[in-house]
Structures are given as C-alpha cells and as structure tokens.
Amino acid sequence: MDRYDQTKLLLSGIVIGAGAVLAVQTISSVRRQDSTKKTQILKEDIRNGLEDCIGNTPLIRIKHLSEATGCEILGKAEFLEPGGSVKDRVALKLIKTAEEANLLTPHSGDKVYEGTVGSTGVSLAFICRARGYLAHICMPNDQSTEKSSLLLKLGAMVTLVPPAPIVDKGQFVNRARALAAAQTASETEPGRGFFADQFENPANWKAHYEGTGPEIYQQCGGRVDAFVAGAGTGGTLSGVGKYLKERLESVRVVLADPQGSGLYNRIKYGVMFDIKEREGTRRRPQVDTIVEGIGINRVTANFEAGRPYVDDAIRVTDDEALAMARLLVEKEGLFVGSSSAVNCVAAVRTAMKLGPGHRVVTILCDSGTRHLSKFWKKAGEVAGDEEMTLDGVLGCGEVGKGVSLEGEKSGYGV
C-alpha cells in the first residue's frame, strides 16, 4: 500500500470516528432533552388545603353575546371557585386579615359572625372549618332555601330573620354584629366573637384589588375596554375598578344594578333613591327584585371606596335578567345565578354603547344551583326548542322595551 492509500485510509478512519462521536453526543443530548421534558411533565402541583385553591379562575369568551354585539364579551368564571362563588376571595381575605390583627385564633373557640344573603356565608362556612373556626350566619328568611340548607351541611349555625331596613336592630347584619359582641362579652362561652362586616371591612375590596383585578389584567394581556359588575357590598366593583383604572386610563367601569336598587341613582345623580322603594309602594323591606346578591339601598364603605372610578351605571329589570339566564343556557350551556345574569345584560348594553371591536369583561358570580327555588323557579325550564334571541332579552321589561342591537348607538366615543 503506497503512502497515498495510507493517508486516504487514515482520513477515512478519522471521519468515521468523528461521525460516531457526533452521533453518540446527539443521541445523549436528545435523551437529556427527553429526560428534562419528562421531569417537567411530572412536576408536582399540590395545593395546601382547599383555601389554597381560591382564585385564578378562567376568563371565558361568551360566544353568543360576543358574536351578536361584535365585541369580545368575557366572563370571569367565579362559579368555579371551591366554594362556588366570587365570595370565596372575600371570605378568605376577611379571615386572614383578622388573624393578622390577632382578632382570631384557630382552634380557640373563636367564632366568625356575618350577615349575608347567602354566598358570603357559604364561603365563610367552609373556610372557617378549614382554618379551625365555627361560622354563625344571619340571613333574611326570604332567600333561596338551598343557601341556608348548604350552610347547615357545612356546619355553620344559621339564624333566619325577617327582611328589614338597616336601621332596624333585627336586620340580618345588625343581628350578626350583636351576636358577635355578646359572645366576646360572655363569661361562660369560650372564645371570641368576630364580626366579619363584609359591607364595611376594607379587606373586601382589597381582596379584588390584590386578586381578581390583577388576574383579569394579565389574562387580557393588558387590554380591557370596559369592566362591568353589580354591587351588593361593592367590593368587586371597587377593587377591580380601582386596579384597572390605575393601569388603563381609558377603561370604562360600569355598575350593573337590578331594579329596586338605589345604586344606579347614586352613580347617575349622586343620591340613593329608587322609585320602586318610595314609601307606600314597597312589596318587601329591602330591594324590590328577584335578584339576590347585588342591589342595595344604602351607602357602604366598600362601594364608596371605588365610586370615583365608576363611569356609568346600567339598570337591569327582573324580566331581562330572567331572559338572559335562559339565553345563556340555551346558547352557551352556562347555568348561572341571578347576579351573573344581570351582569351579562349590562355587559351587552355596554358593548353596544362602545361599538364593535371592543373587549368587555364581567363577573359570572355563582352557579344557578344556588337559585333553583327562587330565581330559576320563576325562569322556568329551558326546553331546547325555543329560538331565543338577544333582541328578545333586551326587549323585556320597561328599561329594555323596544331596544334592538341594530338601533343602539355608540355612546362612549372610544
């Protein structure tokens, strides 16, 4: 073999060796990547108790409402919270704040008292159990029966009282406050009584400023044209509205208010009054509506905390809320409660004012399962063979009579 052939053979060996080394390195690299991928897939995601599951709910596009208005109407799915409603956020914040202030001590006999129409009570009941407390809930006796039944199943004490104005000592909020003070003063009953005070306690709106608001902002990639929500305590509207307004100057914050509530006039005219509540015409002592959870005829600290950030208010009739609830089942499979239906009607009207191409976010507060014996009893069955339209929803009741999507004009100029 001459020198040329030897050189050729040597070079061939070097190439083959290099190729083998490269192949081994490539295979090892792929195996390492596969191993890394498998490690990432198997990464643990374990929550520390049920209360650690609160928050980070999905933001869903409500398809039918979006397509009908030309806007993107998004609902924050708070009915997927572990306790079934947006009030989980508030209840946890109320209790944690009290613990930090040494007003509550777990497993000491301390009891949490609250006056509520139901949802906050349910949230407090399960969180109290999870953190070593008992809950005592006072609520009006005209609320849906499934709420009080659920509270009892969760181990809470329940006191039902007749509906009454806030000036009445027997009103459900005042009753809860008095019971909490009585336990604290008692020499025989163990532990202290803590009145959660969801209407006036700033921990309420801060729960949404620190949680719901940032989540919506991030889920929307920082693009929100309007936020629409009803108000009972006012915490959701205030907390989310304040958070969004501080970051998006042009965002519209809109109150959705049921008939009989005075908040609409509070925003529009600076006064708390509703024609259905004038003396001699009330059918019940609180707010004259079938809707539960939102609407009120007094000013609360949590509502006032966010009032400077509220741009507009939309009043929604009971008939509109009932029709919207049916439409959401018919077109979306969404089975929501009365306050969510009110929010969706107001979200549609806001979208119509803004005009096509805008993004409107609202809150889907809780499921219709909490409203079977009252709101959904009146709404009736959704048979599946009824051709429901959004124009039909907006044509219900005195507020929406004669209004159609085609006839509505843009009112915000943005």
Q: Which domains does the chain have, with CATH numbers?
A: 51-81+208-394 (3.40.50.1100), 105-191 (3.40.50.1100)
Burial of 26 (0-12, 13-18, 19+ CB in 10 A): exposed
For the annotated catalytic residues, the residue numbers are 87
CA distance 226 to 248: 10
Q: How confident is the model at residue 43 (pLDDT cuts 50, 70, 90)?
A: confident
DSSP for residue 143: S
Separation in Å, CA 12 to CA 20, 25, 197, 350:
12, 20, 85, 76
pLDDT at residue 279, as a whole number:
42
pLDDT in tens, 193-246: 999 999 999 999 999 999 999 999 999 999 999 999 999 999 999 999 999 999
Nearest of 379, 411, 390, 389 to residue 311 by alpha carbon: 411
Task: Pull the structure tokens for residue 50.
Answer: 């049920």
Whether residue 303 contacts residue 263, with contact meaning beta carbons closer than 8 Å, is answered with yes
pLDDT at residue 282, as a whole number:
43
CA count, 13 A, side-chain hemisphere, 380: 7
pLDDT at residue 287, as a whole number:
53
The CA-to-CA distance between both ends of the chain, in Å, stands at 87
Whether residue 314 contacts residue 255, with contact meaning beta carbons closer than 8 Å, is answered with yes
Whether residue 328 contacts residue 256, with contact meaning beta carbons closer than 8 Å, is answered with no
pLDDT at residue 413, as a whole number:
40
CA 321, 323, 325, 331 torsion-angle sign = negative
Q: Which residues pair with 111 in a beta bridge?
A: 134, 193
Amino acid at site 266: R
3-state secondary structure of 194: strand
Task: Pull the structure tokens for residue 182.
Answer: 């009585």
What pTM did the predictor assign?
0.84
Above 50 in pLDDT, residue 261?
yes
Sheet holding 359-364, edge to edge: 59-61, 72-77, 359-364, 226-230, 252-258, 312-316
Percent of all residues in the chain with a pLDDT value above 90, rounded to a whole number: 69
